């Protein structure tokens, strides 16, 4: 069954939220702490190894009640049950959205077109496991009989960002295999990656759900040509494997049928790292850790599915984001992870969040007159403190930020960890409390400098404190954001699982490529594009 189509702005709670917003929009968070000594405890969600403090937000209990009422009025519960059941909630592409099935227990029963998909998932997982073990143990060897030393993931978008982010995030758990990622069609990218590689000891994983993506096929062809300078066509079978739904196209490319790891249409690219798209993750950290990543995500799925909305981490974080996006009219959100391992986390989330919820037509096909998809950005702390924090502290824009930190450091360096975490805690305090004129005068600052040193504070943040970065906790964290995306899409009454917005540019690029190659001349470009094209041709 399809998702319901309810315009959120026509609900009773939306109107109440609007009135409530007018009433509290100028209130300062720190005053609420003074009024309620229990605020920090009252507004903290605890679950397993996650401690989520939402007390430094521009919210009261009434705000939360009204936001939960909004979730109820758009029937979020019904949407959640359709999501997990495998209903065709990706209506515009006629598909279920079942990345949650990929991490469900073997005993689960998830029906798509009358068939339980869980056994197929476990069959592929077994194949991932045995292939991983054979590569890691050196049982499977390259064409000159040497064990593999390097793995190259060739893919883009969801076939690159998830695996690349997770492999980096789990570097601590990595084995001896060196992993590389080739994504951009920029030939300098692929050439930089292969220039130090030994074809005799390198495994190539070509990942493309459709197996029609220009970037991935170009890179895979270039790499195969490079490989064939050392190995023969027969050796390709030993060095190239593929992950795809498009078995025919993979075979056409020349990859052995046994080397194909299937995936399914009901797995969206940006939610696919849990499927065979995560093969490079499994190879990099071992199948046991890949499995722990899946089980962490499954735990978050259960929390999301069963917990009351007011204690439900994905639901509450999504509602807070709606609060700032639609009432405070915040233009963007920052995600700041206090872990260098999560260097690529914000980049990964950009696809998940912006490709999903960057929509302006509602589920009834009407143009939307309220804000949807948030702009997401971020870099790890503490580096980001020395880059863009100035603007969050003293700029004119309101930027709600999510701070993610881990209590234990993996290498156990207490000195660094205490310094890191003191920054993690201090920044949200500074953003919230600010610094008043009086406090600055008290420091003896000369009058003319005082205005420049004022911090108004009242900048909202969520603090997500997790015990330790492990495959399991990372799985939970990623799943949290997946469900947050889902909840926001439900509230905004949009289809989160298509991405037609990426098509037009691809089509025009094909037309222009033909023109660059001289095979066709299309004269219906705008004058700017025609001039640029001509100029490019002159330069090359």
The reply to whether 239 belongs to the active site is no
DSSP 96-139: ---GGGGGS-TT---EETTEE-HHHHHHHHHHHHHHHHHHHTT-
Cα-Cα-Cα-Cα torsion 51, 54, 55, 59, nearest 10 degrees, comes to -160
347 binds ligand F6P (CB under 6 A): no
Work out which of 59, 121, 156, 477 binds ligand F6P, going by CB under 6 A. 156
86 SS3 class: coil
Sheet containing 332-338: which strands, arranged edge to edge? 44-47, 50-53, 461-468, 401-408, 332-338, 375-377
**Residue closer to ligand F6P, measured from CB, 95 or 459:** 95
Shortest Å, Cβ 276 to ligand F6P: 12
One-letter-per-residue 3-state SS of 383-440: HHHHCCHHHHHHCCCCCCEEEEEEEECCCCCHHHHHHHHHHHHHHHHHHHHCECHHHH
Strand intervals (E) in 5-69: 44-47, 50-53
The reply to whether 139 belongs to the active site is no
**Residue closer to ligand F6P, measured from CB, 375 or 407:** 375
Contact track, ligand F6P, 249-278, x by CB under 6 A: --------------------xx--------
158 binds ligand F6P (CB under 6 A): yes
Work out which of 159, 298, 339, 427 binds ligand F6P, going by CB under 6 A. 159
- Beta bridge pairs of residue 242: 206, 260
CA distance 203 to 200: 9
491 in Cβ contact with 76 (< 8 Å):
yes
509 binds ligand F6P (CB under 6 A): no
CB under 6 A: which stretch of 83-91, 208-216, 458-466, 515-523 binds ligand F6P?
Answer: 208-216
Q: Which residue out of 506, 514, 535, 537 is catalytically annotated?
A: 506
Q: Which residue out of 10, 25, 311, 386 is catalytically annotated?
A: 386
236 in Cβ contact with 198 (< 8 Å):
no
Name the DSSP letter for residue 323: I
The reply to whether 56 belongs to the active site is no
499 binds ligand F6P (CB under 6 A): yes
> Measured in whole angstroms, how far is the alpha carbon of residue 205 from the centre of its chain?
21
Between strands 202-207 and 150-154, the pairing is parallel
Site residues (CB under 6 A) for ligand F6P, limited to 434-493: none
**Residue closer to ligand F6P, measured from CB, 76 or 156:** 156
CA distance 272 to 451: 50
Shortest Å, Cβ 268 to ligand F6P: 7
User: H or E element: which one contains 260?
Assistant: strand 260-262
317 binds ligand F6P (CB under 6 A): no
Contact track, ligand F6P, 210-249, x by CB under 6 A: x--x--x---------------------------------
Shortest Å, Cβ 155 to ligand F6P: 6
2 binds ligand F6P (CB under 6 A): no
CB under 6 A: which stretch of 56-64, 155-163, 170-178, 418-426 binds ligand F6P?
Answer: 155-163
CB under 6 A: which stretch of 87-95, 131-139, 205-213, 406-414 binds ligand F6P?
Answer: 205-213
508 binds ligand F6P (CB under 6 A): no
- Integer-rounded Cα Rg, in Å, for the chain is 25
End-to-end Cα distance, the chain: 54
Shortest Å, Cβ 240 to ligand F6P: 16
CB under 6 A: which stretch of 207-215, 339-347, 437-445, 453-461 binds ligand F6P?
Answer: 207-215
Residues at the interface with ligand F6P (CB under 6 A): 156-159, 208-210, 213, 216, 269-270, 355, 499, 502
Q: Which residues have a catalytic role annotated?
A: 355, 386, 506
């Amino acid at each position: 069954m399809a998702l319901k189509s309810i315009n959120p702005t026509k609900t009773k709670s939306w109107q109440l939220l609007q009135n409530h917003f007018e009433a509290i929009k100028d209130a300062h968070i720190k005053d609420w702490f003074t009024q309620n000594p229990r605020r920090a405890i009252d507004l903290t969600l605890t679950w397993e190894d996650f401690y989520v403090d939402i007390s430094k937000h521009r919210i009261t209990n009434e705000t939360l009640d009204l936001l939960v009422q909004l979730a109820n009025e758009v029937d979020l519960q019904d949407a959640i049950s359709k999501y997990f059941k495998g209903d065709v909630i990706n209506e515009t592409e006629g598909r279920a959205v079942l990345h949650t099935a990929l991490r469900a227990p073997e005993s689960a029963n998830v029906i798509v077109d009358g068939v339980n998909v869980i056994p197929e998932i476990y069959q592929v997982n077994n194949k991932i496991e045995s292939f991983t073990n054979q590569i890691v143990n050196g049982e499977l060897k390259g064409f000159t009989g040497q064990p593999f030393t390097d793995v190259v993931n060739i893919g883009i978008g969801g076939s690159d960002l998830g695996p690349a982010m997770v492999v980096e995030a789990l570097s601590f758990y990595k084995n001896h295999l060196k992993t590389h990622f080739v994504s951009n069609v920029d030939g300098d990218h692929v050439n930089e990656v292969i220039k130090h590689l030994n074809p005799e000891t390198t495994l190539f994983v070509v990942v493309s759900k459709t197996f029609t993506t220009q970037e991935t096929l170009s890179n895979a062809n270039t790499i195969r040509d490079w490989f064939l300078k050392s190995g023969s066509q027969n050796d390709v079978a030993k060095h190239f494997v593929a992950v795809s739904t498009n078995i025919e196209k993979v075979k056409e490319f020349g990859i052995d049928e046994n080397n194909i790891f299937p995936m399914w249409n009901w797995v969206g690219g940006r939610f696919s790292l849990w499927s065979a798209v995560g093969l490079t993750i499994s190879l990099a950290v071992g199948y046991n850790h890949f499995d722990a990543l899946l089980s962490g995500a499954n735990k978050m799925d259960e929390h999301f599915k069963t917990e009351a909305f007011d204690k439900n981490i994905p639901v509450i974080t999504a509602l807070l984001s709606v609060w700032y996006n639609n009432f405070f009219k915040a233009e963007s959100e920052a995600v700041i992870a206090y872990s260098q391992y999560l260097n690529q986390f914000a980049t990964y989330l950009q696809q998940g969040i912006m490709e999903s919820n960057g929509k302006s037509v509602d589920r009834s096909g009407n143009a939307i007159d309220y804000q949807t998809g948030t702009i997401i950005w971020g870099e790890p702390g503490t580096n980001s403190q020395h880059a863009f924090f100035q603007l969050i502290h003293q700029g004119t824009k309101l930027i709600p930020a999510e701070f993610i930190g881990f209590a234990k450091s993996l290498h156990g360096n207490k000195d660094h960890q205490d310094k890191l975490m003191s920054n993690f805690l201090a920044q949200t305090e500074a953003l919230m409390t600010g610094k008043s004129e009086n406090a600055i005068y008290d420091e003896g600052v000369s009058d003319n400098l005082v205005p420049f040193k004022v911090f108004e504070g009242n900048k909202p943040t969520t603090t997500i404190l997790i015990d330790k970065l492990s495959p399991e906790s990372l799985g939970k964290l990623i799943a949290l954001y997946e469900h947050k995306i889902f909840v926001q899409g439900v509230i905004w009454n949009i289809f989160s699982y298509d991405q037609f917005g990426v098509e037009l540019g691809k089509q025009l690029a094909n037309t222009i490529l033909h023109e660059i190659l001289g095979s066709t001349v299309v004269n219906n470009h705008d004058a700017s594009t025609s001039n640029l094209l001509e100029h490019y041709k002159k330069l090359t």
